[in-house]
Structure 1
Amino acid sequence: MELQKLSNGHHHHDLPMAEGLPEEEQFLPHKSDGTKRSQFTDFEGKTSFGMSVFNLSNAIMGSGILGLSYAMSNTGILLFLILLTCIACLSSYSVHLLLRSAGIVGIRAYEQLGLRAFGHPGKILAGVVITLHNIGAMSSYLFIVKYELPLVIQAFLGQTSSTEDWFMNGNYLIIIVTVCIIFPLAMMKHLGYLGYTSGFSLSCMVFFLSAVIYKRFNITCPLEAFSNNATTIPEDVCSAKFFTINQETAYTIPILAFAFVCHPEVLPIYTELCNPTKRRMQNISNVSILGMFIMYLLTATFGYLTFYANTEAELLHTYSKVDPLDTLILCVRLAVLVAVTLTVPVVLFPIRRAVLQLLFPEKPFHWLRHITIALCLLFSVNVLVILVPNIRDIFGIIGATTAPSLIFILPGLFYIRIVPVEQEPMKSRPKVQAACFTALGFIFMIMSLTFIGLDWMSGVKRSGGH
């Protein structure tokens, strides 16, 4: 590739080097004496550790949590735990690569890492990948609002069938939600201000988890709703599997890998962190990933132990099939809607920053530019969600290419190209690990594209999402 032919020898002396302190070099950093001055030149943030954890956790948390119980039913409890643990560790290592590279460059922007590694084409590539991935994420969240909010309103009004009322039209509802909730939050000057809404969003998902645990002890198996009037019920329909391999198992691996995609938000959050050090930001990432790991594991386990072999691809649909008028599940649906709605502004920030880096790299902050970019992005996403009835295939292609790029490929390549060979030769263990990490990303990408191709040929759509 042409990008790989660019020489990086002269780049390593353009910007100030990060001092070789342990916290700048270690994946699991040692304690710092706190006397190190920040080497970054882009911004001095004021966001606290806790608010940063809320924002990053909210960025990790996605609608894919609704499908984790189904993933566990196709892997078994033990294999699911192994896969989830490995992917969480890989995600934390990926953040380490990004932070290490940012320390060398001296600025905390994904696009600037691309510029330093591969020149202007690398900057454009990073900006385009972030934009496509996060637009896909924003659209998927608004699709949930479009299809789920009318059903929730219908249930709360006690209606058994849909009506022609305007407030039952999903297209009108997403416009109202965008104008009244998402757009005002997207006007915030700094991402750190969204820590409060991110905390509330996470509390909604904790409520969802609490309901899943509660329902585990209130729904008995076997379930009449899934028996299909069968006279005999298989003996193993209510038994947990610890290790399962079937044709669906391979499809769960990319789903789990994408469940920890938060990398476009890592550097913007790092930028606004008060007292920014690599050790501090790595701790924020580790705490966020650990928290989501626990929430994912508990949700998947208790959801699976409720329905066992009857677990469906969308967990809330499974509960509704048992009791369509269950008040608790209706409240949970509403909580999930609130959570995904409050996540949209957090996901929008990296897109706006990418656009600013690509189109206005040297311009100071300006409110008109800040508002206009957000307005154009939200308008485009709303038009996309309203006019296109089913864009899951497009999302699938984008997700299968951008997610592995953001988690594995780009962080690994940036690390290899940016860290000077004087500090770490190409055959050193850290760079060999980064190269293997990058290769793993290409494997994930090929796997995901292969599964999508098999879906298209078979006509069967698998569940997934972030």
Structure 2
Amino acid sequence: MKKAEMGRFSISPDEDSSSYSSNSDFNYSYPTKQAALKSHYADVDPENQNFLLESNLGKKKYETDFHPGTTSFGMSVFNLSNAIVGSGILGLSYAMANTGIALFIILLTFVSIFSLYSVHLLLKTANEGGSLLYEQLGHKAFGLFGKLAASGSITIQNIGAMSSYLFIVKYELPLVIQALMNIEDKNGVWYLNGDYLVLLVSLVLILPLSLLRNLGYLGYTSGLSLLCMVFFLIVVICKKFQIPCPTEDGSILNETMNSTLALAPYLASNVTNAGSCQPRYFIFNSQTVYAVPILTFSFVCHPAVLPIYEELKGRSRRRMMSVSKISFFAMFLMYLLAALFGYLTFYEHVESELLHTYSSVMKTDVLLLVVRLAVLMAVTLTVPVVIFPIRSSITHLLCAAKDFSWWRHSLITVSILAFTNLLVIFVPTIRDIFGFIGASAAAMLIFILPSAFYIKLVKKEPMRSVQKIGAVFFLMSGVVVMIGSMALIVLDWVHDASAGGH
């Protein structure tokens, strides 16, 4: 899910990213062990912010001008892991099914390394640029254009994260209700229609929570979300050894399978040849283009890096990079296991949302029902957390000098939620959300913006230095990834539309 995917750390979930500016839209009050969302330096003239905290400046200046961090190393790892993991994890098996095991591992490795490298660039830029706000770094580097680029990318990423969460509600809630009420035929039953349920959940649960001025207990949903994803991973691994693979004639390899499994639709639609149960290592097809965007969507955590860095006890760039390396390695393993075991369960028949794939095979399984309920609860409570920074960014851009207004506060909230609901209702699959956001906003946040800010703001390194040349190549690779992925995805949409697929 990374997230994913948004700025999900101890106060939010992938999973995903947000604009962490200080304004009257909300007032966070969390335990000191959790990473703060708002900057402690917002009231300081940005041009006079003298961050960075080099050890030779003396500890006294460090502690008086900039508050010392209070979050332990371990808690910071947990926070950053929360910021990485998200709904993107549900699409990784689909990516593997359309790339093959070997190519997927290669892509996963490169995307994780590139994401970690961009964190390195971002931390060094924050040190040299004198700000722990992503948008402020953009403003320092390129003026209003840089600020809008950073704010816009974070907002689009967050809207994509919200959409992916509501897609999970659309896909999974009807199945949960159907299983709990033991309904066989859902045709014509309005409360089993995913579109109606998304609107109902948005109005009854998400909107009231989103209208609050203080996040309160919602800040803890990130921890719940991470636990849900770990539980989801455990179930995916276990189900690999319980769900049989069909043979060419449709018989079941495991004749002792529980008789409650509804395998008929799975067999009828998925059995094509005897080799369908053989893993493939390199695959190239029309859906392969979605692999890199899904992976980039799953690793976006960069707007959360700076607030976590701000709160890190014994704050230093080297210490924060250690936090990042551990978090990225843990999420790399988690993503790899989830993708691998999901793929080895369904092979090329994995749907774009893995959890939904199980509904074709196991409709009455209690363990899967518990997973669905846990994931649904986590994502439902996470959507309001994601709305807060989006609304804050919009308010800051449009009317920063105005006093708080409940009318404006409510109008922006309703507009954001309505727009996201329209996306979820009219966009065909969650794959399109993962693909588009991953190719656009996620590519900006991972590749383009950190390298561009680094090149512009880090003055002590000449352009011919290895570091600057590396950043230039990283920037160029990000542009290629974004343009190439977007072009291929749009071509796939056009082809599907002409073929009647959309």
TM-score when normalising by structure 1: 0.80
Aligned partners of 1:41 and 1:107 also within 8 Å:
no
Q: Which residue of 1 aligns with 2:239?
A: 215
1:94 pairs with one of 114, 118, 142: 118
**1:144 equivalenced with 2:168 (yes/no):** yes
What is the identity, as a one-letter code, of the residue corresponding to 1:74? Answer: N
Q: Distance in 2 between matches of 1:89 and 1:39?
A: 33
The number of aligned residues is: 429
Q: Distance in 1 between matches of 2:433 and 2:353?
A: 20
Aligned partners of 1:130 and 1:350 also within 8 Å:
no
**1:67 equivalenced with 2:102 (yes/no):** no
1:188 pairs with one of 202, 211, 215: 215
**1:278 equivalenced with 2:320 (yes/no):** no
Aligned partners of 1:198 and 1:342 also within 8 Å:
no
What is the identity, as a one-letter code, of the residue corresponding to 1:173? Answer: V
Q: Which residue of 1 aligns with 2:136?
A: 112
Aligned partners of 2:210 and 2:385 also within 8 Å:
no
Q: Percent identity?
A: 50
- Mark the CA change 1:36 to 1:314 in structure 2 (over 3 Å): closer, same or farther: farther
1:18 pairs with one of 52, 68, 72: 52
What is the identity, as a one-letter code, of the residue corresponding to 2:215? Answer: M
Q: Which residue of 1 aligns with 2:361?
A: 322
Q: Which residue of 2 aligns with 1:429?
A: 466
**Bigger shift: residues 98-107 or 243-252:** 243-252
1:353 CA displacement: 5.2
The root-mean-square deviation of aligned C-alpha atoms, in Å, is: 3.5
- Mark the CA change 1:236 to 1:460 in structure 2 (over 3 Å): closer, same or farther: farther
Deviation per residue, 1:97-128 (Å, 9 max, x gap): 11111111222001110111112332232222
Q: Which residue of 2 aligns with 1:174?
A: 202
TM-score when normalising by structure 2: 0.75
Deviation per residue, 1:285-338 (Å, 9 max, x gap): 223222221111011111111122333332223211112222222222222223
Q: Which residue of 1 aligns with 2:276?
A: 237
What is the identity, as a one-letter code, of the residue corresponding to 2:268? Answer: N
- Mark the CA change 1:147 to 1:313 in structure 2 (over 3 Å): closer, same or farther: closer
In the TM superposition, 1:66-465 aligns within 5 A as 66-162=90-186, 163-164=189-190, 169-170=196-197, 171-179=199-207, 187-188=214-215, 196-222=220-246, 224=250, 225=264, 226-228=266-268, 234-348=273-387, 350-352=389-391, 354-355=393-394, 358=397, 375-387=410-422, 389-391=425-427, 397=436, 399-420=438-459, 423-459=460-496
Deviation per residue, 1:222-245 (Å, 9 max, x gap): 264444389x96332111223333
**Secondary structure of residue in 2 paired with 1:303:** helix
Unaligned segments of structure 1, at least 5 residues = 1-11, 25-33, 462-466
Unaligned segments of structure 2, at least 5 residues = 1-45, 251-263
- Mark the CA change 1:135 to 1:429 in structure 2 (over 3 Å): closer, same or farther: same
Deviation per residue, 1:196-229 (Å, 9 max, x gap): 3222211111111111111111112126444438
Q: Distance in 1 between matches of 2:135 and 2:472?
A: 20
1:275 CA displacement: 4.1
Aligned partners of 1:187 and 1:374 also within 8 Å:
no
- Mark the CA change 1:146 to 1:70 in structure 2 (over 3 Å): closer, same or farther: closer
- Mark the CA change 1:166 to 1:250 in structure 2 (over 3 Å): closer, same or farther: closer
1:377 CA displacement: 4.8
Deviation per residue, 1:169-216 (Å, 9 max, x gap): 4111222231465666x7237xxx766322221111111111111111
Q: Distance in 1 between matches of 2:391 and 2:64?
A: 21
